[in-house]
Structure 1
């Protein structure tokens, strides 16, 4: 048979191989996930910091002037007679 003339030294090194794959670094999907999550976190924290800074430093908004027509309508609803009548 052809199996009888095989060298026995070929089988002696069989136990030295590892079945575990060598480490190849980080998973590419993990790197993409970390970059996306990091960017979103920086965006949210930055927006919050700018919002709080603007709230402290900017003056309050001016209210829109109420038109005379709306004032007249509100007085009529409240039961106050208009000045011209």
Structure 2
């Protein structure tokens, strides 16, 4: 009598492999390396986008940087290079 119902207990091999794959997928979850990679890339992206936004905001709102005054000695040298005589010479 037991032999008659033996086929009902057996699962075809293709379905058995599918069941194992599903069980393994549920047990593992996400790969920890992938999570770390996503977090690092996300933080880097936020950092770069934030820097770009701050840079563009600063370009619009801050006054232009003041130039250093040129010394009289350097001005005299530049005039002589250009061929213009310095006043008083």
TM-score by length of 1: 0.77
TM-score by length of 2: 0.74
Task: Compare 36-45 and 75-84 and name the one that shifted more.
Answer: 75-84
In the alignment, what sits opposite 1:52? 56
Q: Which runs of 5+ in 2 are unaligned?
A: none
Runs of 4+ in 1 over 6 A off after TM superposition: none
User: How far is the alpha carbon of 1:81 from its aligned partner?
Assistant: 1.1
- Alignment of 1:15 with 2:17, yes or no, is no
User: How far is the alpha carbon of 1:84 from its aligned partner?
Assistant: 2.5
User: How far is the alpha carbon of 1:22 from its aligned partner?
Assistant: 1.9
- Partners of 1:80 and 1:66 in 2: how far apart? 18
Q: Which of 37, 59, 77 is the matching residue for 2:81?
A: 77
Q: Which runs of 5+ in 1 are unaligned?
A: 1-7
Measured on the aligned residues, the alpha-carbon RMSD in Å equals: 2.4
User: How far is the alpha carbon of 1:14 from its aligned partner?
Assistant: 5.4
